[in-house]
Amino acid sequence: MAGAEYSEISVERLEQGGMNKARREALLDVSRQIRDIAERLESLWHDEEEYLDNMPENLQGSERYEKADEAVRSIESAIDILNEAVEYIEAATE
């Protein structure tokens, strides 16, 4: 993954050269914003998962069910990616 390699290189450069307080605070602010977005997505993920779990048995296996299931998995992946981004950002500020 090019993104992961770039992040690792960026963290390494920051550790070598240091980071001033303003950039560190800006990164932490971005990290907080991403975390807030991940929390909002998690709420939507729970709603969609509840919708899926409560779908009538006769609709399970239908196209409607498959779309809802795909949405749940996609939202979950997005949450994981955002949480990983927060970890990289926070590592850069240490």
| Owning domain of residue 78 | 2-93
The pTM of the full predicted model, rounded to 2 decimals, is 0.72
Per-residue pLDDT 10s for the chain (94 aa) are: 344 444 554 555 555 556 788 888 999 999 999 999 999 999 999 999 999 999 999 988 899 999 999 999 999 999 999 999 999 999 998 8
Separation CA 48–CA 61 (nearest Å): 16
Residues 21, 26, 32: CA angle, nearest 5 degrees: 125
Number of separate domains in the chain: 1
